[in-house]
Each structure stands twice: as structure tokens, then as C-alpha cells.
Structure 1
Amino acid sequence: MGKKKRGGGTEASADASTRRTGGNWAALSAKINAGTSDKAKKKAAERAAMARAATESSVNGLMEDVRDGGIDVKEKGGKPKPTGRNTAVTRTLALDCEMVGVGEDGRRSVLARVSVVNEDGNVILDVFVQPTERVTDYRTAVSGVRPNDVKAESGARTFRVVQAQMSELLRGKVLVGHSLKNDMKALMLDHPKRDTRDTSLYHPLTRPLRPEERCVPGAPRGRGCRALRDLARQHLGLEIQTGEHSSVDDARAALALYKKFAKKWEASLRLADGKSGRDGGKKKRKTSRD
């Protein structure tokens, strides 16, 4: 009886094992064939379409941000390029200058190159300038300027000629640039504040002032200036000033930043002008009563 029981137990165990294996296979088979039904295929297609849409939206969003900034690049890390074919002198112009060092230690700066682009980023003026003093440091690693570039025989123009051209060119224009105070100082020119758009001074593009750091004249209170290359990388996905600087690239990058923030920027200026006008009126009325 014991043998039969043991034998019977063995058979029962085998039958149970078969049932378990069969059950597992059935479950596995169901999983494998889960996507073959029309309903499952439809859901899989919907998921794939959603994934593609998300990817396209991300790419298109990036490209839209880039185009809004006034540049035309196909991927991050590119250089700013013109956005249109217009080569006319437009109401808005962007400027950047390169300087070389003069004096015993080469720390003082004089003008060596001037680049101006129009609102589409096309070059209006790009000339080398003959230094007004003996150059002691060409700063080539940064300025990109070499001794031969600023010689008359190479086509470099005199400072007075360039200054006169720039004075005429900028009259009545909205001038865009980064740290324009330095460029205008090198040109020995002034430009109306109301027509100046300096990307180093616009509040959303500045940073908190560092300890012991002095505020740059014209910057918002308690704010410091950021490098153009950092702003271009963060807001435009561009890589500029990775080696020798190009004043054309820098002017286009500043223009792209301005165009990206132009609506809010111009609105803030109108608001400030309106407030200033109201305050002025109040003061005038108070004075008249006195």
C-alpha cells in the first residue's frame, strides 16, 4: 500500500507539474501575442504617434526659440547667421568693435575693427581701422586682429573716416550691442539713450552683483553684467568667442538676443517713459502752483 501511495504520489506530482508548466506557457503565450489584436495594435500606434509628436515638438520648439532670436542655425552650437536677404540700412542696427592695446603695458584700447549689421543680420559695414597710436598688443588671441589687417595698404581706413561714416550711419537709428559704452568710447561718439539697446544692461540678461563688485553704470541696481558668449549659449544655443572673436558674429548674437526679448523690452521702455512723463507733469503742476 505504501508503494502504491508513493507511486500514486509521484504520478500526482508529475500531473501537477505538467499543469503548472502548461499554465505558465499559456500565460507566456498570451504575453507574446498580446500585441497582435487590432485593439492592441491601435494602442501601440497611438503611443508611437505620441512619442513622435513629443520629439517633433521639442525640436520645433528649439528651432522656434532660435528663429525668434533672429538667427538661423540648424543645431545647437552654431554661429549666428542672417535671417533674410535684406541688405539695406534698416531702422535697427547692431554694432560690435574690436580693439587693440596701446601704451607701455598695452592696457589702453584703440579701435581696430568696426562691424555693423542690419535687422536681418546682413553686414552693412565691416572695416579695419588704422590705429591712432603705436600698437603694443594686438590681442590677436581675442581680437583676431593682426598687424597687416590695420595697415593702409591692406585697405584699413583712417579713424577719422570711419568715425564720420559711423556718425552718419547711426543717426536716427536704434542701436543694438553688448557693452556698447566701450564701443562708442572707442569710436569717440555718443548715441541717444532712448535709441540704445544694450544687452549687457537689460535686467533679464543680467545677474546678481557679486560681493565687493561695483555696479556697471547704467546696469539695474544690484545687478552685474554677463558675458555675451554665456548669454548666446544659454538663450540662443550658440557658441561664439570660442577663440579669436569675430565682431560680425558678436553683433549678430547681440541682435539675436534683442530680437528674442524685443516685445517685453520695448514694452518696459514705453512703461518707463509713460511713468516718467506722469511724474514730470506732477512736478510741473506743483511748481506752477508754487
Structure 2
Amino acid sequence: MSAISETAPAPAASRAGGGIGQSMRDSLVIARRNLIRMARIPEMIIFGLIQPIMFVVLFSYVFGGSMMIGGSTSPAEYRNFLMAGIFAQTVTFATAGAGAGIADDMHKGLIDRFRSLPMARGAVLTGRTLADLVQTTLTLLVLAVVALLVGWRTHENIGKVLGGFALLLLLGYAFSWIGALIGLSVRTPEAATSGGLIWLFPVTFISNAFVPTENMASWLQPIAEWNPFSATVQACRVLFGNPGVSPSDAWPMVHPVWASLIWSLLILVVFRTLAVRKYRQAAV
């Protein structure tokens, strides 16, 4: 009995003294677990690909001939204008999946099992969001291939193009922490899915993703131009060499790359802090 009592505190000590390295190892273990789960349920990936592909096809061929971009109503011009918005919408809509996944783990009691293990408190959430980032990367890759097939083209060097995709993934990862907070705050996965989508529609549509902001009502233009989503879309258009660079003098539109980085990092820091705090409160 004495031997047991002497060795029992070891997990707690390991948890306390593991530091950043231990936290990263724990996060990668959780990420691996979620990736294996995704691989065993391929319909999760397939259904995640269908929606953005539908958006590409519908917006390109249904609205392509009626939109004026840079004084031209050419469908090809609109497709080049559109794709940055579709890419950004795709990475942000993954937020709903992140929230639903965490809510599902909470509902099934899996999170409680993780809490009993000697692991860093934030590792469960970090691992989940990292796994979602891998899935988002795969979705973005497939979507880029589809975009090329329907006529989307870039006009900058490969370094800038990859930089644009990096900004998209950073925005998606930052938004996934909003989904994590929502997933921890609701009782069911269904509520997490609804809560994860309802706020995304105004964020994505009150932006420069699908139409130029100068075509919006005057009172709506500043909202769209200072939207974090718009900054990333604008940055991607600049880095991809696509049309639609806004003549607006709003700072995020003049310096979209910096605006995208600042917004994404700010969202990441704020919502990761809130999500981890929520997780710790729920663990008490």
C-alpha cells in the first residue's frame, strides 16, 4: 500500500512539469487519434469536399455571366475573382465541423476520459484543431484542382501563390478555435453544428468574397472592408494575381496581407485562450 501511495502522484507531477514539449507531444497524440478516426469514416472527408465543389460550379456557371469585374462581364474574369472567396469560405466553414466534433466527444464522455490522463489541459483541443487543419488542407488541395479545371488561373510566382494558401490555412485554423469554444459551450453536436454555421453566413457574405465591396450599400461597405474574412480574400487575390483589387482606401484593403495576418493571429490568441479556459472550467 505504501508503494502505491508513493507512486500515485507521479502522473500529476508529470502533467505539471512536462512543459511545452509535453504539451506538444500530447497534442500530436490527440491529432493522430482524430486523423485515424477521419480515415476510418471517409464519408466525413467526401461530404466535406462536395459542398465547396458545388459552390465553385454554381457560382462560376450560374452567376459568372452576370457579374461585372473590372468593367468586364466575362465569366472567366469572374471565376478568377471568385476563387479566393470560395477558398476562404471553405476553410472557415470547417469551423462547424470542429465544433460538432468536440461537442460529440463531450456528449459521449470521451473528453472525461482524456481528463483522467496525465496530459496537458489544452492538448485535447489543440490536437483536435490540428487534425481539422490537416483535413482542411486536403480539402483545399482538391478544391484548387477543381478550380483549375473550371478555368481559374494564377498570375504570380509560386512563392506568392503558396503564401496565399498559407494565409487561408491560418485563417481556417484561427476560426477552428471559435468552433472549439462553441463545441464546449453547447450540449449536443447538432447545436454545435447550427451554432457554428449561423454566424458564418453574415461573415462570409458581408465581404468581398463574391461581389466587389463598391457594389454594396454605402453603410455596408466599411463593415465588409474591415471584415477579417475580407482581408484574407483580398490578400489572396493580390498574391494569386487575380482581378478584383478594391480601390477602397480602407487600411485592410490597402495592406491586405498584413491585415490578414494580424486578424488571424488575434482571433487565434483570443479564442484559443477562451476555449482552453472553458475546457478547464468544465473539467472542475
TM-score, normalisation: structure 2 = 0.23
More helix by share: 2
Larger Rg: 1
TM-score, normalisation: structure 1 = 0.22
